[in-house]
């Protein structure tokens, strides 16, 4: 059996030596070509988990592995060619145009002090088109709405041409139309061989797109596996601490709560 694309092995993480562990003996795998969601309430450790997987945080114990190798064996440039992140939000200090900002996604492919070339610009323009905002290319990022800014962050990540796309609450700032468009785009990317890993606190996002789901609560992994096995009324009720019902309707799972 081939190794998981991305995995945490017996990971322990604390923000400092005197603080309570956020994760202890934590193990999880992300399979190649999957759409995996980390589902749990706010404060369950989802964003911290993403940062461990990216190598931005270092576990005090255990190991993060990418394609079977320790994350530390890759250079930052190599990691940048492997995976990209769409954060919940990002402070942008300078008044870039949208196209200028999206071009930062080409950084792993450029040498020191090298300027983006025609191929890089084309990749950025194509990414803006894929997320449905080519008309914003010349607009200042400071003049974007929250939803537009979220789509720009996604376009920057796609410009990076990753094999693994990590997303932190990607639908939280989107209206229904853009949420639907995003889910359709992610399905298309997955069919093209991009493995997708996202955090969310929205069960309906999981039901609409995920192939695998991991249920998190208070830094613990309650259960993980295929959506059809894990995404149940009993399991979701345990995660959120309220009665939740999952029903099948027109080949979709519909989530109801009080």
Residue 65 makes CB contacts below 8 A (sequence gap 6+) with 3, 4, 6, 7, 8, 9, 71
Q: Is 132 left (phi over 0), alpha (psi -120 to 50) or beta?
A: left
User: Which CATH number applies to 6-89+162-256?
Assistant: 3.40.50.300
Give DSSP secondary structure letters for 193-220.
T-EEEEEES-HHHHHHH-SEEEEEETTE
pLDDT, tens digit, for every residue of 148-169? 888 999 999 999 999 999 999 9
Residue 231 makes CB contacts below 8 A (sequence gap 6+) with 203, 206, 207, 210, 213, 246, 253
| Entry pTM | 0.91
Q: Where are the domains of the chain?
A: 6-89+162-256
Are 239 and 217 in contact by the 8 Å Cβ rule? The answer is: yes
pLDDT in tens, the chain (258 residues): 456 899 999 999 998 877 888 888 899 999 999 999 999 988 888 999 999 999 999 999 999 999 989 999 999 999 999 999 999 888 887 889 999 999 999 999 988 878 888 999 999 999 999 999 999 999 999 899 888 888 999 999 999 999 999 999 998 888 888 888 899 999 999 999 999 999 998 888 999 999 999 999 988 899 999 999 999 999 999 999 999 999 988 878 888 887
């Amino acid at each position: 059996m081939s190794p998981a694309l991305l995995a945490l092995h017996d990971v322990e993480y604390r923000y400092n030596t005197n603080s309570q562990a956020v994760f202890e003996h934590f193990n999880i795998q992300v399979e190649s070509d999957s759409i995996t969601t980390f589902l749990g309430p706010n404060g369950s450790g989802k964003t911290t988990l993403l940062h461990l997987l990216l190598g931005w945080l270092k576990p005090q114990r255990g190991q993060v592995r990418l394609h079977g190798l320790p994350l530390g064996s890759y250079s930052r440039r190599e990691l940048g060619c492997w995976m990209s992140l769409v954060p919940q939000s990002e402070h942008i200090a300078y008044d870039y145009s949208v196209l200028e900002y999206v071009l930062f996604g080409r950084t792993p492919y450029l040498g020191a002090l090298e300027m983006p070339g025609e191929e890089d610009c084309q990749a950025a323009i194509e990414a803006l088109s894929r997320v449905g905002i080519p008309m914003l290319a010349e607009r200042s990022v400071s003049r974007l709405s929250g939803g537009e800014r979220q789509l720009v962050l996604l376009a920057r990540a796609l410009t990076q041409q990753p094999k693994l796309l990590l997303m932190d609450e990607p639908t939280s700032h989107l209206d229904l139309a853009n949420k639907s468009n995003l889910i359709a785009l992610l399905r298309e990317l997955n069919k093209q061989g991009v493995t997708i890993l996202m955090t969310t606190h929205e069960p309906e996002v999981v039901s609409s797109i995920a192939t695998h789901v991991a249920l998190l609560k208070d830094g613990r992994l309650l259960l993980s596996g295929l959506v059809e096995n894990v995404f149940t009324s009993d399991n979701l009720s345990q995660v959120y601490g309220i009665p939740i019902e999952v029903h099948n309707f027109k080949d979709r799972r519909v989530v109801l709560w009080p």
